[in-house]
A = this chain, B = another copy of it.
């Protein structure tokens, strides 16, 4: 969309009052800008940005025009932001990342390997589903890139950072993700790092 965003880290488990005032659910992401104090939640942000900037984007708009295509984009946004997140990435990110930064009173400590194994097992089904969608489509929701692709790539990249994506199991999914990684809007995200964790060699490699 050509918008510059300043990213602010929020450790949600600390439950800062100022943050809870922006989003009582206490979850990230939350968008703030001059004209609106808080837009909480990835899919609410997506709808908001489309409503306020979408029309100017023409062919590059991330939510299509016709109702049936919008249903498919929203179905897949929910699939990745809720289902994939709840079955895969939230476990891996919590166990491997958040727990390092939490005190023991906040729930920190060693990762629970049973949860990590369950999340990895679930991930294989999701990767296969992505490949299945791409057998008939250029992008996850159809012939154009949409929010569905961004939602899937956001979830996958957090798991890929931790080295948990078995890319060799699905060539179509790998090729699609490689196309997304190469986009100018996506590339800077791949330079993001977390103290104490080194991503695998292929993580920021555009042609992995």
Segment at the interface with B among A65-73, A98-106, A195-203? A65-73
Closest to A31 in B: B71
Interface of A toward B, CB cutoff 8 Å: 23-25, 35-36, 39-41, 43-44, 47-48, 51-52, 67-68, 70-71, 74-75, 78-79, 82-83, 129
Q: Return A55 CB to nearest CB of chain B, in Å.
A: 12
Least Cβ distance of A83 to chain B in Å? 6
Task: Please tell me if the beta carbons of A36 and B71 are within 8 angstroms of each other in the complex.
Answer: yes
Contact A79 B25 (CB under 8 A): yes
* Minimum CB–CB distance for A24 against chain B, Å: 7
Q: Give 30 pairs: A residue, B residue, CB < 8 Å, sorted on A.
A: A23-B75, A24-B129, A25-B75, A25-B78, A25-B79, A25-B83, A35-B68, A36-B67, A36-B68, A36-B71, A39-B71, A40-B71, A40-B75, A41-B74, A41-B75, A41-B78, A43-B74, A43-B78, A44-B71, A44-B74, A44-B75, A44-B78, A47-B70, A47-B74, A48-B67, A48-B70, A48-B71, A51-B67, A52-B67, A82-B82
Nearest CB of B to A47, in Å: 6
- Min C-beta distance of A76 to chain B, whole Å: 10
Q: How far is the CB of A3 from chain B (nearest CB, A)?
A: 15
CB neighbours (8 Å) of A78 from chain B are 25, 41, 43-44
A52 to B129 Cα, complex, angstroms: 29
- Collect the chain B residues with CB atoms within 8 Å of residue A35's CB: 68
Q: Which residues of B contact A25 (CB under 8 A)?
A: 75, 78-79, 83
| Chain B minimum-CB-distance residue to A45 | B71
Question: From residue A25, how far is it (CB to closest CB) to chain B in Å?
Answer: 6
Complex: how many Å from CA A73 to CA B48?
A: 12
CA distance A51 to B75 in the complex (A): 15
